[in-house]
Amino acid sequence: MKSIFRRKRTEDILAARDEHGSMHKVLSVRDLTALGIAAIVGAGIFSTIGTAASEGGPGVVFLFLFTAAACGLAAFCYAEFASMLPVSGSAYTYSYFAFGELMAWIIGWALIMEYAIGNITVAISWSDYFCGLMEGLGVKLPMWMQMDYLSAHSGFEEAETLIRAGQDPASLEAGLRLAREAYLSAPVIAGFHLVLDIPALLIIVLITWLVYRGISESRTASNLMVVVKIAVVLLVIVVGAFYVNPEHWSPFAPNGLSGILRGVSAVFFAYIGFDAISTTAEECRDPQRDLPRSMMYAILICTVLYVLIALVLTGMVPYGELAVGDPLAFVFSKLNMPWMSGIIAVSAIVAMASVFLVFQLGQPRIWFSMSRDGLLPPVFKKLHPRYKTPSFATIIAGALVAVPALFLNLTTVTDLCSIGTLFAFALVCGGVLMIHGRTDLPPAKFRTPYINSRWILPVLVLAGAGLIWRFDREAARSFVQNEPRVVGVSDLLSELDSIQLDQLGNHIMYYHPMEYKAAGATVPGYLQSIGQDESIALFKKLALPHKLIYESAWESFSHRIPMWIFLLVLLAFTLLAFWKNLSLIPVLGLLCCVYMMAQIPVHNWLGFAVWLVTGLVIYFGYGYRHSSLAKSNP
């Protein structure tokens, strides 16, 4: 047990940095802040903000503020570590110092989900905007060349279910119609429909080549792209403010707190990236001073922009219409302002390319540090003799993003990226708690302010419980009693046989002809129009099996497992805060991160668990035996 929790001392970390050659030190605090903004302002503001706003309404601004606060708390902890340990490893190196080798490996492995998996999301979003821009210029790629296989296949299956239920293929919503078109029109090889996102592949190759060439070129490109996208975001805010209808802000939180929180994954994804600054520590002129400042500057600037853009979007059109892949361009197209839509499309391409650039900078440098510690093969720490970049690691990082981007969809990779990043943030916050009180800490220009949480945290927990009991008592009761959840309309229809479908359709057409016609003369449209309670009453009237209408007790409980995990963590840290006088900022940062993890569906937790187990197999198969600490302390 001692061997897998062996910790690196400060002198070991700095000696390893000096031993294996240095990178070009060219980054100033302005460059680092620009890199932070480049990483944060991208797919989140040009794409996923629409999904979050459609769920939470104008009240989504509270989620932006909450997420900014959580990231700000984590940024304090990142800043303290970056000031003490100015090396490229980011959270991986910090965990090596605070927790030991096994946790360092776990966090390094998890960071692949932030940088590599996150870049899959960015590449897919970039492809969507690029294809839209090309179509506006009169160049339309075949659908099977601009969509991933998973979206095309799942969309085809759902569309066929609705068609079996009586819906006209021409009346399908646009996303399903395009997915069905892509799947049916794709070349078929040995029974496999070849649906590939080609534009995503092109941007991956281009940015990987730029990162391979050097940090100076990457810095220049990043600064230029940041100027362009910030100018466009400000243009959207200023122009859009003249078209805001305050009536669209009422009700401000139409779906309550639960509706706001449903967008947590999308909104958190909009903040991912500020920590990528810390991976460039060995390329900074003064990392101990500039890294903490640049992280805070980037989060503050981006939060102001996010809140303003969310208010403008939800004020320009009803929030329910924003569930589109390109919400900024969408709202101006509705106002018959195609010139603004064109500017936004071009800037979105630039913005997401800059995000991709920063993430693609981060991943090879994590592997570079892990290889330097012996946990990965030596080839990953190889620096290019001329460009002074981790050349092999950069190429592998590009390949790791390129292949999945051809086949995976946006929702899957967004949630996986968010849970991996939140896990890293939580461990960095926990690392600060671990090192407080240690006597071997190196000198640092920044320390997380100490506020005793002994009484503050229990009071906050009791206040939160009181607010839930006062305003959301029914949801809390349903959670504790594990009440079964209702199966979604699409899922239910897919489980019905042809006789049950005919029975349902005939009943609706006979007893509710006017409502059926108003809903587009389709069974799914009618069910969506009458709402959940009336749908359940109809299903019961037709004596549909209970198991088709409601999830099983285990299925309902499994969806609540992440929240139970958070509640246990909350209880544990409340007791520890009272007993150990823990520092408030890292405790709150850790709890906020775990809470946001609890909002991510349980199947993504399972995927993350499989990912971590795979990493442990690799660690015990290679890293444990080749660790530089194992060799120096056999």
Decide if 500 contacts 166 (C-beta within 8 A).
no
Spatial distance between the Cα atoms of 321 and 331, rounded to a whole number of angstroms = 9
pLDDT tens digit string along 575-617?
999 999 999 999 999 998 898 888 888 888 988 899 899 999 9
Helices (H), 47-146: 49-56, 60-84, 91-98, 101-136
Question: pLDDT tier at 453 (50, 70, 90 boundaries)?
Answer: very high
- CA-CA distance, 204 to 401, in Å (whole number)? 7
pLDDT > 80? residue 37: yes
Cα 78 to the center of its chain, rounded Å: 19
How do 192-193 and 188-189 pair as beta strands? antiparallel
Place of tokens 């080609």: 198
Q: What is residue 452's predicted lDDT score, i.e. its pLDDT? A: 93
The residues that bridge with 93 in the sheet, in sequence order, are: none
DSSP 248-313: GGSSSSTTHHHHHHTTHHHHHHTTTTGGGGGGGGGGBSSHHHHHHHHHHHHHHHHHHHHHHHHHHH
As a whole number of angstroms, the distance between CA 91 and CA 128 comes to: 32
- Per-residue pLDDT band for 231 (boundaries 50, 70, 90) equals confident
| 378-413 CB burial, b ≥16 within 10 A, e <16 | eebbbbeeebbbbbbbbebbbebbbebbbbbbbbbb
pLDDT above 80: residue 484: no
State the burial class of residue 506 (Cβ atoms within 10 Å of its Cβ: 0-12, 13-18, 19+): exposed
Residue 500 banded pLDDT, cuts 50, 70, 90: confident
Burial class of residue 520 (count of CB atoms within 10 Å of its CB; 0-12, 13-18, 19+): middle
Comparing CA positions, the residue from 498, 171, 519 lying closest to residue 506 is: 498
Place of tokens 């995927």: 607
Mean pLDDT of 613-626: 90
Percent of the chain with pLDDT over 90: 9
Start-end of H helices in 496-627: 498-511, 513-518, 523-541, 546-549, 553-580, 584-598, 602-618, 624-626
- The pLDDT-based confidence of 470 (bands split at 50, 70, 90) is confident
543 to each of 251, 280, 576, how far by Cα in Å?
Answer: 37, 62, 52
Judged against a pLDDT cut of 80, whether residue 243 lies above it is answered with: yes
Q: Is 365 a residue whose pLDDT tops 80?
A: yes
Contact 207, 123 (CB under 8 A): no
Backbone angles phi, psi at 27, to 5 degrees: -90, 130
Torsion of the alpha carbons at 395, 397, 398 and 404, rounded to the nearest 10: 140
| Rg of the chain (C-alpha set) | 25
What per-residue string of b and e applies to 85-108 under the rule 16 or more CB within 10 Å gives b?
A: bbbbbbbbbbbbbbbbbbbbbbbb
Q: Number of H helices and number of E strands within the chain? A: 30, 2
236, 308, 331, 628 from 312: Cα distances, Å: 8, 6, 10, 53
First to last CA, the chain: 14
480 versus 591: the higher-pLDDT residue is 591
Query: What is the SS3 assignment for 593?
Result: helix
Three-class secondary structure of residue 189 per DSSP:
strand
Residue 360: is its pLDDT beyond 90? no
In this prediction, residue 632 carries a pLDDT of: 67
pLDDT of residue 183: 85
Alpha-carbon distance of 431 to 434, in angstroms, equals 5
Q: Which CA distances in Å does 121 have to 156, 316, 411, 421?
A: 21, 27, 8, 14
Q: How many CB atoms lie within 10 A of CB 537?
A: 11
Residue 460 pLDDT class (50, 70, 90 cuts): very high
Burial 269-284 (b: 16+ CB within 10 A, else e): bbbbbbbbbbbbbbbb
Hunting for tokens 């509270």 — which residue is that?
62
Label residue 494 by pLDDT band (50, 70, 90). low
| Residues 478-498, mean pLDDT to the nearest whole number | 72
**Tokens (6 digits) for 211:** 């990162």
Phi, psi of 383, rounded to the nearest 5 degrees: -95, 140
Reply yes or no on whether the pLDDT at 203 is more than 80.
Answer: yes
The chain-wide mean pLDDT, for the chain, equals 81
- Amino acid (one-letter) located at 479: F
CA 575 to chain centre: 31
Q: How confident is the model at residue 573 (pLDDT cuts 50, 70, 90)?
A: very high
The pTM of the full predicted model, rounded to 2 decimals, is: 0.78
- Mean per-residue pLDDT for 21-38? 79
> pLDDT at position 20, please?
55
Rounded Cα distance between 464 and 260, Å, is 17
**Quick one: pLDDT band at residue 187, thresholds 50, 70, 90?**
confident
Contacts of 386 (CB under 8 A, 6+ apart): none
Upstream peptide bond of 601 is cis (omega within 30 degrees of 0)? no
As a whole number, mean pLDDT of residues 40-66 equals 79
Environment class of 322 (CB within 10 Å of its CB; exposed 0-12, middle 13-18, buried 19+): buried
Q: Which residue has the tokens 């996010």?
A: 306
Among residues of the chain, what percentage have pLDDT more than 70? 91
- What tokens were used for 284? 């900074």
Distance of alpha carbon 77 from alpha carbon 426, whole angstroms: 10
Residue 611 one-letter amino acid: W
Choose between 522 and 333: higher pLDDT.
333
Identify the CA nearest to 267 among candidates 52, 420, 38, 416: 52
